[in-house]
Amino acid sequence: MLEHSCGPSGERRVVDLNALIEEALNLAHHGVRAQDASFNIILEREFDRGLEPTELAPQEMTRVFLNLFGNGFYATAKRQRDGAGPAYIEGGDARSRRQGRSPGARQRQRHRARDPEQIVPAFVTTKPTGEGTGLGLSIAYDIVTQQHGGIIEVDSRVDEVTEFTIRLPRQAAGGAV
């Protein structure tokens, strides 16, 4: 909540990405628990404590994380309601990791980020009418790729797991951190 009260949404600054992820994870979890006190999930965190501060627009990246965590919590709650019951406890993971610098990998990542098959379509939702607009993942994609020069990938196996990977540069193009 503090990030949302600090300046314009597109303003970039150097932040602790681990703290930003942790805050978004807790906000999303408390938000779903406020709507459904029976909601239960095991949250695992694996943050790289050596991760250097990252230059980004914290409000915008918080929107991305809240959307992804919220979607995951929604799917878990739906599974609990649709037969698995309240005893069903799904796991949710949040991880951060520093990656090395590799010009070759950077080129491959840029190419993949612009691959039309990687683009998340707008107005596609798995939620019932009135519960989702279908814009969340499309907005997240734009924030990560267009505003931050990063990539977002998804690996999804129906009724098993969905994993999003976000890769961000440590600093804005031409910036110094």
- 86 pLDDT higher than 60: no
What whole-number distance in Å separates Cα of residue 13 and Cα of residue 58? 8
Higher pLDDT, 122 or 57: 57
**Residue spans per domain, the chain:** 3-167
pLDDT the model gives residue 170: 77
- Nearest by Cα to 167 from 98, 67, 70, 92: 98
CA distances from 7 to 11, 58, 156, 176, 177 (A): 7, 10, 35, 21, 20
Q: Beta 151-157 vs 161-167: how paired, if at all?
A: antiparallel
Q: Is the pTM of this model over 0.85?
A: no
**pLDDT band (50, 70, 90) for residue 164:** confident
pLDDT tens digit string along 35-74? Answer: 888 887 888 888 989 888 999 999 999 999 999 988 888 8
Assess contact for 16 and 53: CB atoms under 8 A. Answer: yes
Site of tokens 């994993």:
163
Q: 3-167: what fold?
A: Heat Shock Protein 90 (3.30.565)
